Amino acid sequence: MKETLKEQLIPDSFHPIERLQNFVHMGVVRNYQKGETVVLPGETINRIIYVISDKLTVNFLNDDGRQKLMYKAGKYSIVDRLFPSENCFVHVISEEKSKICFFTKEQLFMILKQDDEMLNEFIVNYSSKCFHFMNGSKEMALYNPSVRVLRLLHELCLTEGKEVDDNVYEIDVKLSQRAISEITGVHFVTICRVFSWLKKENILQKTTSKIIINDLERLKEIINENSKN
């Protein structure tokens, strides 16, 4: 696989705006080292952040000080800090050695006058973000934490699993419980309990490099049983 499963489930670009690279001379270009902060929680910069190379991590700071991964901004994608709302504690970090460009509102208006097709690119980018977070909100509203983890495992089996025996599937992927927590928004302790129970019932077992589903039909039954209102 060219990209990790975690990167597939947590989009890192949504809709890249490649055309914007033709206008970076109009903005302010800066380089950041791995782990360096681009925007501090609560900081107001009134800029669009455009990723020229590598990737940024966008986290939301909770009231208790913990950070929740929201999404990752890969090459040619944007992070909107142009119109930040009040108390928007977003922490933007350079995942690797990144090169980015900052655009003000005035600079963006000048760019749109020179390239009116760029407006469509921005709309598609925002629309794809909205759909991603609406889908995540739907999952959280309709399903309890345990079911969200089970649904993720079932989806992985359907998309990445290989049948090795009757109703037994192997998913060859390195996916930590921390990554599952980031994807589903479920607390790490709950995820540990879910995997322990699945192993005890001989439904599923997880190693560092793969997930083995011993009884896919039983997994589906548990999801259906626990998804009923």
| pLDDT mean across residues, the chain | 88
Q: 203 exposed, middle or buried (CB, 10 Å; 0-12, 13-18, 19+)? A: buried
User: Phi first, then psi: what are they for 179, rounded to 5°?
Assistant: -65, -40
Place of tokens 């739907």: 138
Specify which residues 79 forms β-bridges with.
49
Residues 225, 203: Cα–Cα separation, whole Å: 15
What is the pLDDT at residue 10? 63
Cα distances (angstroms) measured from residue 181 to each of 8, 33, 142, 198: 15, 26, 18, 17
Cα distances (angstroms) measured from residue 122 to each of 15, 134, 215, 225: 8, 18, 44, 42
Mean pLDDT throughout 99-116?
Answer: 96
State the pLDDT confidence band at 110, using cuts at 50, 70 and 90.
very high
What is the pLDDT at residue 8? 52
pLDDT in tens, 144-155: 999 999 999 998
Cα distances (angstroms) measured from residue 170 to each of 71, 99, 203, 218: 28, 39, 12, 16
Specify which residues 32 forms β-bridges with.
98
Residues 150, 155: Cα–Cα separation, whole Å: 9
Residues 120, 170: Cα–Cα separation, whole Å: 41
**Closest to 59 (Cα-Cα) out of 10, 132, 122:** 10
Place of tokens 């190379």: 53
Q: Which run of H or of E encompasses 197?
A: helix 188-200
What is the pLDDT at residue 196? 93
pLDDT in tens, 3-47: 445 555 666 778 999 999 999 999 999 999 999 999 998 888 999
